[in-house]
Amino acid sequence: MGKYQNSARMMFCVTFLFWFSQYAYLPYLNPELQAMGATATFMGVVSAGYGLTQLLSRIPMGIAADRWNCHRLFVAAGCAMAAAASFGICFFYSPAGFLIFRALGGLGAACWVAFTVLYSGYFPASRAPQAISMLNVANQAGRLACFALAALLVGRFGVRGCFLLSGGAALLALGCCLGLRRAPDAGQPIRLRQLPALLRDRTLVGCSLLAVLAQTVAFSTYSAFVSNHAAAIGAQPAQLSGMNIALMAPVVLVNYLVARRWLPRYGLRPLLLWGFAVTALYCLLLPLAGRMAEVYALQALAGVGNSLTIAVLLGGCVQGVEPRFRATAMGFFQAVYGLGMSGGPVLMGVLADRFGLPAAFWAMGGVSLAALALVPVLLPAKSTAAAR
């Protein structure tokens, strides 16, 4: 890593603060919308807006970042949009404001492509998958820290205080971007006519399709409607953040193990099979939880499932991709899984309105089981062994 060591450390801090900002207020979105009289379907649309802007913008961002090697600019832009989204919701506190500025936050999150590529560029090409997985540790640690701090502050400053906290963290991340160096140029950037060849990478395509299902479940359950279930059994505002602390604590640890030990040792398939099985179990049991202690325990289970699906797919999708195509490949991967981020919450909301929240959770358990069955089909042992 050499002369890029300080930039890599600063990038780790920027990532921590950026995702701290994106998630500090997440546990309160649906309860606040419900207090305003919004339906479950509208809550799903608000969550979907966050994914839809990513779906539409990630591939163009990846191509632009590769073409002009301007990853630092996209990182700074992502931090600026995260700040604008947080302050925008705080000062336009209405269902429409939630929808518009949550979508703007999604546009900022689309810059995650540039985060991963810039950080991996500070390392030798052979260490790129592990570097990306390590950066995901900063991602998850930022989320864990924001939930812990929000739980302490919400009782004193209210939910709007969480939005202000979020905006402040994003501004701090933007300031830290000044300390980043440009990564080495990976060579001739990808051209549009080369995309079909890139998309013949079976591991990239298989990981992307499985990520659609993983994000469908994630953004419908433990990132969105679990707060509705918790509120229904009497959870207080601080407990909503505590619920997400229970989710994120194992995520940080398991992500670290995935990056350092499990992914290089076992490869994609075994970890994904376990991950989807654990996630399915979470979805099937959550509606039966009648006390917050049970919800906390199940959230921890969901955290393990998250790391063994999304983190593994994130680290594995670019293993066979040339360094100069990596931003575009990551953009494709993240754009495709945006289908799950945008479609999943809407589907969950519609199912909850029509059949009730328990049935919606059980349906997501079925999605996880379907993903479990598709792992051997989309990622044959030969291709995953080669990637490893």
Distance CA 232, CA 211 (A): 30
Encoding tokens for residue 152?
A: 């302490």
Encoding tokens for residue 244?
A: 């997400």
Encoding tokens for residue 211?
A: 């990520």
CA proximity to 186, closest of 61, 12, 70, 334: 70
User: Which positions ≥6 away from 175 have C-beta within 8 Å?
Assistant: none
Distance CA 88, CA 104 (A): 9
Q: Which residues of 317-346 are buried (b: 16+ CB within 10 A; e: fewer)?
A: bbbebebbbbbbbbbbbbbbbbbbbbbbbb
Decide: residue 193, CB within 10 A, 0-12 exposed, 13-18 middle, 19+ buried: exposed
Block residue for tokens 């090697």? 69
Separation of CA 247 from chain center: 13
If phi over 0 gives left and psi between -120 and 50 gives alpha, with beta otherwise, what is residue 278? Answer: alpha
What's the half-sphere exposure (Cβ side, CA atoms, 13 Å) at 230?
Answer: 29
Distance CA 378, CA 110 (A): 25
Name the 3-class secondary structure at 219. coil
As a residue count, the chain comes to: 388
Distance CA 280, CA 361 (A): 10
Which amino acid does the sequence have at 116?
T
Distance CA 29, CA 223 (A): 10
Print pLDDT tens along the chain (388 aa).
557 778 888 999 999 999 999 998 888 898 899 899 999 999 999 988 888 888 888 778 777 777 777 888 999 999 999 999 999 999 999 999 999 999 999 999 988 888 888 887 787 766 666 677 778 788 888 988 998 898 888 888 888 989 999 999 999 999 999 888 876 665 445 555 666 767 778 888 899 999 999 999 998 998 888 989 998 998 888 888 888 888 888 887 887 788 778 877 888 889 999 999 999 999 999 999 989 999 999 999 999 998 899 888 887 887 777 766 766 777 788 778 888 888 889 999 999 999 999 999 999 999 999 999 999 999 876 555 444 4
CA distances from 299 to 127, 249, 327 (A): 31, 10, 32
User: Which positions ≥6 away from 247 have C-beta within 8 Å?
Assistant: 147, 222, 299, 300, 302, 303, 306
Whole-prediction pTM: 0.77
Instruction: Report which DSSP code applies to 183.
Output: P
**For the CA atoms of the chain, what is the radius of gyration?**
19
Decide: residue 387, CB within 10 A, 0-12 exposed, 13-18 middle, 19+ buried: buried
Distance CA 84, CA 21 (A): 11
Encoding tokens for residue 331?
A: 């953009």
